Amino acid sequence: MSVLGSGLHAAELYEDALSVKEAELSMLRRIGAPEEHILVTQSNLAITYRSLGRREEALCVKRDVYSERLKLNGEKHETTLRDARATLRARETPPPLPWEAHRDDAGRPYYHNRETGESVWTLPDELLARETPSP
């Protein structure tokens, strides 16, 4: 299941990847898998939530993983520290925008919104705001 979920995520089929990863996590809990395996699966699930723009859910899962790692390994263990950094980064990093830059057959740039299917020739306001530094 892990390979299927990762493959779907790599193919940017995030909704499908989410279903597989949630089912995998449920199965691991049901069979009493080692806590480390469950935490890795939860971390992957958080990445998928983030890819879907579900930032709050991703952050909640990352906090849970950090909390469990803290109990399991202590505060100075390498994996606990890694998960603490990942949780902080998740809070600081803005969510991904749905806009992607492309070029048409003549080489002219255009922008496509993968969520709405809209394509435009001018830089969308959301991208412009991201690229313009704050005063």
Provide the pLDDT for residue 42: 92
Domains and CATH numbers, the chain: 2-92 (1.25.40.10), 99-131 (2.20.70)
Q: What are phi and psi of 110, to 5 degrees?
A: -145, 170
pLDDT (tens digit, 9 = 90+) per residue, 7-18? 999 998 999 999
A 10 A CB-CB count for 126 gives 13
pLDDT reading at 133 higher than 60: no
**DSSP state for residue 52 in the 8-state scheme:** T
A 10 A CB-CB count for 110 gives 14
For the entire predicted model, the pTM comes to 0.59
| Strand 119-120, strand 109-113: pairing | antiparallel
